[in-house]
Every structure is written in C-alpha cells, then in structure tokens.
Structure 1
Amino acid sequence: MRFKDNGRRAALASLAATMFMAGGHAQAQASSDKPLRVIVPLSAGSTVDVVARAMSAQMAKVMGHPIVIENLAGAGGMTGTVQVVNAPKDGLTIGMVSSNHVINPSIYRKVPFDSLNDITPITVIGTVPLVLVGSSVVPARSLKELIALLKSKPGTLNIGSAGNGSVLHLAAELLMSEGGVDVKHIPYKGTGPLAADLLGGQVELGFLSVTAAAPHIKAGKLRAFGVSTRQRSAILPDVPTLAESGLPNYVFDAWIAVIGPAGLPRPVVQKYYADVKTVLSMKDVQDAMANQGIAIIASPPEQAAPFFKAEFDKHAVLVKKSGATAD
C-alpha cells in the first residue's frame, strides 16, 4: 500500500504500531510499506538461499507484503544471524538458518549471541538428507563390506568434509562412533573441492547432499553406501538408509529453519508459522523443495524450540568427540 499524504502515512504508522503492541500483527503488517527482511546468513546459491528464494514470491503474495532477501555470509553463518538477533521485535526481520546455527557454539571460542536464548524459533522447514559415498578406489560395494574394510585398516582410509565442525564432518564423526571405526578426517574449504577430490580418488569417502551426489552416483562415478536420514530419499529411492544397512542407530539430519529475534510476540510468531505452512503446501514450492532433496517438516513453533535444544546437545557431543575447532 502506498500513501501520497505524509501526514496520513505518519498517522497510520502510529496506529499500526499501537495495534502491533496489542497483538494485531496482521493489521500492522498490512499497513506498513516497509519490506520484510529475510536474512540468509549463507552465500547465494547455497541450499538455504535456494529455499529462501523459492519461497519468497509466494510468501509475498500470502502476506501481502514485499520481501527482500539479504545474503550476509561469514563466520559459519554468525555474521548474518547477529543481524537477526539484534533486529527490532517488530516482525520485519527474520532469518533462515541451517544446522550450523547450533553447531557454531561448540566449534568457535566466541559466538556473539546465545544460539538458543537470543532467538525465537518459528518453524523447522525441513531436513536435507546426506549420503555416504565412496570414490572408485574403494573396493567395498556395500556398507557391511565398508565397515569390515575400515576395521581391518584403522586410520588408513580418508573421509573428507566441507570443513572442521561442518555438518558433513559431524556426519562422519557419527559414522565412526556408530560403526566403531577409525577414519582419517580431511577438512576441505567447501563441498565443491570435496566433491572434486572424491571423483578424482584423492579422498576415499565423504558425505554429500543427495542432490550433489545423485548425478555422480547414477553415472557410476561414486558409490553410495547409505542415506543419513531415517527414511530413504526420493532423489535416491534405491539407496538404503545407513540404519537399514547395518548401523541401526544412525540418523543424521541437516536442516533449515526460520527464526526471529528473542521476544518476538506470540501473535507474530503464529502468523509467520501459518504463512510459511501455507506456502509449503503449494505445489510449485513443494517441487522446488523436492529438487533440493528436502523433506518438508513445517514444525509448529512449540516443537521448533525443543528441536533446537536437542540438536544443540547432539552436535555438542559430536564436536567434543571430534575435537573440531574453527578458530
């Protein structure tokens, strides 16, 4: 909505603020011509960024409100997330974060905010399945054979990741813990170099997202040993889960969630959750999610908060076992 009269604009803005403080967020939002900032604390082209942009057009229609996506990458996502944490509690700034949000406190000596208490979890959008793959130099053809191989040659095979304390690193740590095996960790600076060296045989094993790995698996250039999630991935339906294949307690999800600053009023949180859930039910958005291998959850806010705490605790244990640090 645009206003030609500046006095009328000011009066309506004041009225909107009054309604917002009384819990009338929907009316306040409709009266504002300020855009909603969606901060993505990761680089353009990342899975989180792709999801944010896939949802933004429909979110703008559902909310009747302009949306601006800002990529503020750096420090494992902390550079952008601090902007969400310090944002006014007016409902005009939210963030879309990944699992790194709850991993960072365990791998950085100093985090400029409390990852649990300085945010308001709004919803967990969905999970991103990973797949354990091996290069062509690995003779094992199944997870059972791989575990036997690793036990026979402890510490001699390599497993790459996107960096110390990354989701891919912690997925590998859980593999070692559940499988009772010792594999040498090789940290890379991102998934691109890791994938290249897996294809070239310079590193033997690694976890990749199902979307990144699927073309190479189907082309026979990488061998899939199992998917990390509780259910199989629709992108790789013939690849069993690691739990199915011999590690019954192995479950590891990468995930994407929507957060706001701490103290965001409940009506604001519920309105955002309802809008996000509506958008996630739309076919074009579901298709975009499926193309990224994302299993939609759309958990309500009351489930999102304990989920964050459980993930925080789980990753802290894995980081401690690994000795990983990003400093």
Structure 2
Amino acid sequence: MRIVVPLTPGGSNDLLARIAAERLTARLGQPAIVDNKPGANGNIGTELVAKSAPDGHTLLMANTSHIVNFILSAKLPYDPIRDFAPVALMSSVHFALVVHPSVPAHSVQELIALARSRPGALNYASAGNGSPHHLAMELFKSMAGVDLTHVPYKGAAQFTPDLVSGEVSAVIGAINSLLPHVKAGRLRVLAMAGGRRTPLLPDTPTIAEAALPGFALDNWGGMLVPAGTPRPIVERLNAEIVAALRDPQTAQRLTSQGIEVTPSTPEAFQELMQAHLLKWSAVVKAARIGLQP
C-alpha cells in the first residue's frame, strides 16, 4: 500500500500522510509507504492515483490544490471529483501572512502602504502556480489593490530557505512550517489568513480583522482513492484514519504545529470538495487568474 503525496517532503500534507501510514501499517498488517511525487503543481502524483487500480492499495493525500488545479487547468487529464472517491477529510492548516524582517512593515496595513508606494518591487513565494499560497496572495493583492511579484517554487520546503534569507519578501503559507523561523526571529508574522486566530499565536489578528474584511483562506488536507474503490474498503480506510486523528497524542502533535484536526465521513468530505469548487472558482475570478495550458 502506498500513499501518494503530490508535493515535496516536509509540508503539512507529508506529515498527515506519514501519520496515516503509521496507523494503516499497524492495523492492516501490511506496510503502507509514503511516496512523494511532486511536479506540475501536484498534477503528476494526482494523475498517477487517478489511473491506479481501485483496490485500496493506492491513496492520494490531497489538499486544496486538488480542486484549484481543475479550475485553473484547461487540459487536466483527470476530474478531481469524478475520478476519485473521498475517504476522509483530515485537517485544516492555518495559513499566515509572513514577511522577512528586512521588510519595513509590522502590520498588514503597513505592508499594503509599502506595496502601494513601490508597485511590483516586493515579491512573494508560493508552492507553484495555482497553489493555496498563490491564490491566497493573489486574492490579497486584489482586495488590497497592490502589486507584488509572484515567485513560484516546487514546494514549501523549497521557498522557505529563500524566504528566510530575504531572497523573497513575503508569503501566505502554513504556519506550522514557518513558526520555528518566526520564533527564532528570522521571519515576522503580520496576520493569520484564515477566518479565525490560531491558539499558537493568539495575539496575532487575522487579515480580515487587520485590514481586509471578508478575507479568509485555509488549506484543507484529505485522503482520496481512485473512483470505483469498493465501499467496504473506503469505510475501513476511513475508520482507521479517523481513529488515528482522534488519538489524543496525534491530535496534540498536529495542533502544536498549527494543523487543526477535522476528521470526517466520506460524504462530508465530498460535500466540502463540491463547496470548495464553487468557492475557489469565485476566488480565481476575483483575483483574475487566467487558465493554464
């Protein structure tokens, strides 16, 4: 059994996949491995799973990009809804607006003022075109009326060193991977990007509170299998993954890294994906992000 993560190692989805793999290995009597297949903003690994046998031996650790790629890509070789069966929603990862300390801004309003005074001079990192980081910042730009230059990377593990060194100025990214650098003074958090504050940084306002009412973007993570996977297999996988997430030690491990545990039924996960298809379509339209070939 393998869990395909269509991203580079080191991010929140990679951690979730490894937690699931540990549980499935222990409970199903066969090894479950994590297989990182980055590339094409996640499309390479996702297509691999879409075309795999629907026997429960190949799983996909997906995130918001699973839906967004479909909205942005003119010729995607799979359908994110039709070609997959949901197993379980697993998490919501809190994103934050973070800048390098060299950026002379200590609040969202100061960053907006700085960007307006220097159009295009500031840049920002993302985990690729159409990634949650990309869409979050494009929505920020649209709502704030500012211009920042996009610098896409293959994943968070790739852009973090350049953000810490000051090669790129800012990012809206997962707080769990950025928090150690924030605590060490290598990065500065201006605001949380989701609809509520995080217990990790209770005094840090949301972007909506600080400057842009209505701004709210978090990144979900969930497990999928190829469409046609027998229902009993889906139900067994769901039961084991949900049990792993509800383990107090596992939940605390994730919470301490800014990952909110949100285990669900397959049906609830399906509804969320359908809702996010509508939500992210609206975000793409508002941010005026064009289709990719």
Same fold (TM over 0.5): yes
Structure-2 change in CA distance of 1:117 and 1:203 (3 Å): same
Indicate which of 103, 113, 125 corresponds to 2:90: 125
Equivalent pair of 1:211/1:235 in contact (CA under 8 Å): no
The CA deviation string for residues 91-127 of structure 1, in whole angstroms up to 9 with x for no partner, is 3332211222112223333221111111111211001
Secondary structure of the corresponding residue to residue 59 of structure 1: helix
Equivalent pair of 1:120/1:261 in contact (CA under 8 Å): yes
Paired with 1:126 and 1:167, the residues of 2 have a C-alpha distance of 15
1:268 aligned onto 2:237: no
Paired with 1:168 and 1:261, the residues of 2 have a C-alpha distance of 27
Amino acid at match of 1:194: F
Amino acid at match of 1:89: P
Structure-2 change in CA distance of 1:160 and 1:257 (3 Å): same
Indicate which of 173, 176, 179 corresponds to 2:141: 176
When normalised by structure 1's length, the TM-score is 0.78
1:214: which partner in 2?
179
Deviation (angstroms), 1:324:
5.3
Paired with 1:138 and 1:72, the residues of 2 have a C-alpha distance of 34
Amino acid at match of 1:303: A
2:219: which partner in 1?
254
Amino acid at match of 1:112: P
Paired with 1:69 and 1:198, the residues of 2 have a C-alpha distance of 27
Structure-2 change in CA distance of 1:133 and 1:43 (3 Å): closer
Equivalent pair of 1:59/1:279 in contact (CA under 8 Å): no
1:307 aligned onto 2:286: no
Structure-2 change in CA distance of 1:85 and 1:247 (3 Å): same
1:49: which partner in 2?
14
The CA deviation string for residues 103-156 of structure 1, in whole angstroms up to 9 with x for no partner, is 222333322111111111121100111211122232222122223333444444
Deviates more, 1:171-180 or 1:88-97: 88-97
Equivalent pair of 1:147/1:181 in contact (CA under 8 Å): yes
Structure-2 change in CA distance of 1:146 and 1:40 (3 Å): closer
Amino acid at match of 2:88: T
Q: Which has the larger radius of gyration?
A: 1
Secondary structure of the corresponding residue to residue 115 of structure 1: coil
Deviation (angstroms), 1:291:
4.5
2:289: which partner in 1?
323
Indicate which of 10, 18, 37 corresponds to 2:2: 37
1:113: which partner in 2?
78
Structure-2 change in CA distance of 1:226 and 1:113 (3 Å): same
2:195: which partner in 1?
230
Q: Which runs of 4+ in 1 moved over 6 A?
A: none
Secondary structure of the corresponding residue to residue 38 of structure 1: strand
Percent of residue pairs identical: 37
2:33: which partner in 1?
68
The CA deviation string for residues 159-183 of structure 1, in whole angstroms up to 9 with x for no partner, is 3323322221111012123323333
Structure-2 change in CA distance of 1:91 and 1:191 (3 Å): closer
Deviation (angstroms), 1:299:
2.1
Structure-2 change in CA distance of 1:292 and 1:323 (3 Å): same
Amino acid at match of 1:99: T
Structure-2 change in CA distance of 1:215 and 1:197 (3 Å): same
When normalised by structure 2's length, the TM-score is 0.87
Q: Which has the higher contact order (CA 8 A, sep 6+)?
A: 2
Indicate which of 56, 80, 96 corresponds to 1:91: 56
Equivalent pair of 1:164/1:325 in contact (CA under 8 Å): no
2:128: which partner in 1?
163
| Unmatched 5+ stretches in structure 2 | none
Aligned length: 292
Deviates more, 1:58-67 or 1:77-86: 58-67
Paired with 2:149 and 2:249, the residues of 1 have a C-alpha distance of 42
Secondary structure of the corresponding residue to residue 311 of structure 1: helix
The CA deviation string for residues 296-324 of structure 1, in whole angstroms up to 9 with x for no partner, is 11122111112112223333344453435
Deviation (angstroms), 1:192:
4.4
2:164: which partner in 1?
199
Paired with 1:315 and 1:99, the residues of 2 have a C-alpha distance of 9
| Unmatched 5+ stretches in structure 1 | 1-35
Structure-2 change in CA distance of 1:75 and 1:186 (3 Å): closer
1:296: which partner in 2?
261
Equivalent pair of 1:102/1:312 in contact (CA under 8 Å): yes
